[in-house]
Amino acid sequence: MAFSDQMKAAAANNDYSAVLANVPYAQFLGMECDRFGDELVFRLPAQESNLGNPMLPALHGGVIAGFMEMAATVQLMVMMQTTKVPKIVDFSIDYLRAGYARESYCECKITRQGRRVANVSISSWQTNRKQPIATARAHFLIE
């Protein structure tokens, strides 16, 4: 099945597992995505391979950043209804607290979408949405 057909089927069924299955890094992380109305919530299950500090145990900072960047990319593709992957121009992350070895979540908000550039703000949390473990801003070049 072509990627464009998978995107259409995912939007129709609110099941983005086939889309994430096409992205090797998303598969490596174990990312999942659920849609609630117009909102996408991305989920990162607890996996030992995602740990950076096994003493706490805590998630690796690169895993958190990669999870957030991948979520922003998929969010843009779904909301723009496109199969073209936007190119990342800039990604800035603020780590706010430790991301422990438990399920993590992420939500993205497109703050600006022009003809050539889109800005996305991303928030990641674990047990309480009001206590994020990290926030980020991403700028994408879109076609």
pLDDT of residue 58: 92
CA distance 113 to 75: 12
Which pLDDT tens digit goes with each residue over 107-141? 999 999 888 999 999 999 999 999 999 999 999 99
CA distance 9 to 76: 17
| Pick among 1.20.1440.230, 3.10.129.10, 2.60.40.2580, 3.40.1440.10: CATH of 3-141 | 3.10.129.10
Which pLDDT tens digit goes with each residue over 59-96? 999 999 999 999 999 999 888 888 788 999 999 999 99
**How far apart, in Å, do the first and last CA atoms of the chain sit?**
23
Q: Which of 36-45, 47-56, 117-126 has the highest average model confidence (pLDDT)?
A: 117-126
Q: Which helix (H) or strand (E) covers residue 60, if one does?
A: none
CA distance 130 to 36: 18
pLDDT higher than threshold 70 for residue 101: yes
Spell out the alpha helix ranges (H) of 1-143. 3-13, 17-21, 24-29, 61-80
Contact present, 53 and 113 (Cβ < 8 Å)? no
CA distance 30 to 16: 13
pLDDT of residue 20: 85
Q: Global pTM?
A: 0.91
Structure tokens at 3: 């990627």
pLDDT higher than threshold 90 for residue 21: no
- What residue type is assigned to position 4 of the chain? S
